[in-house]
Amino acid sequence: MLKFQTATLGNNMKKLLISAIISMGFIGAASAQDSWRAEAVAALPPVGEMHLQLIVNDEADGFMRLGWAKDDESGVIRFYDRSMMASSELYETMGGSVDAVTLAPIDVAIRFHQQSTIFSIEATAQDGAMIGGQVATQPFAGQQSGEINTPITDGMVMRAAVFFLAQTMPLDAGDSIGFDWFAPLAGGAGTVSITAFDGGTIETIAGTFDTLRLELRGAAPENDIFVTNNDGFRDVVRIDILGQNMRFEAFPLVDAIAE
């Protein structure tokens, strides 16, 4: 687990980072279905991007672009995230990579702005752990820093990969999987589960869809991820952030149910 170094990381940075994470709504065993990783990666297109609108209190307030590219030569999946929450002046850029077979974290770099504060977070896999650091920079107040030293447990998955692989996880209603993940913005590791349920027919800004609901539990906050209810590749059409009046909805680029 990531441990903050109290000698270098002050309480103000802890409070700022926790506040930013809660505001953005982005915070995280043996699998019941051991083959899900291989099946999900095989079904994932070589290159793609999820583009969703952030809705807060039923008003448009930002966006998320989460993209990926499979590099078969190197055996990795590279990814990026570009997110914004305008009302809270939150802006995030992220880039990283995961092992294309195990989905284990390889490296990640985040630059996260909250109002006038800038957070820089970097970590790289070294000797069985994600090693790196966090730095918060505030105008006229200097910098505060903390270390990242998070063991990579057996079966650990990079948090960001879970969301783009929600499109190809081989789950039907009633299926469940569990695993550890590395959540760099939250500050370390956690154990989460995903259970599939019939999501019913939902209305979004992109249209009306029959869905499968993937309940992501063990994170803080938790998420319900709604994907189109078909075999193979499924579009993510809505992500609910539980406990907050916030959700993401896909822009009108996927095929809705005909009216």
pLDDT tens for residues 50-71?
A: 999 999 999 999 999 999 999 9
| Span 163-180, average pLDDT | 96
Residues 196, 226: contact at Cβ < 8 Å? no
Lowest-pLDDT range of 168-172, 185-189, 192-196: 185-189
Residue located via tokens 């000797």: 127
Note the pLDDT of residue 253. Answer: 65
Sorting pLDDT into bands at 50, 70 and 90, what band is 28?
Answer: very low
The contacts of residue 258 (CB under 8 Å, 6+ apart) are none
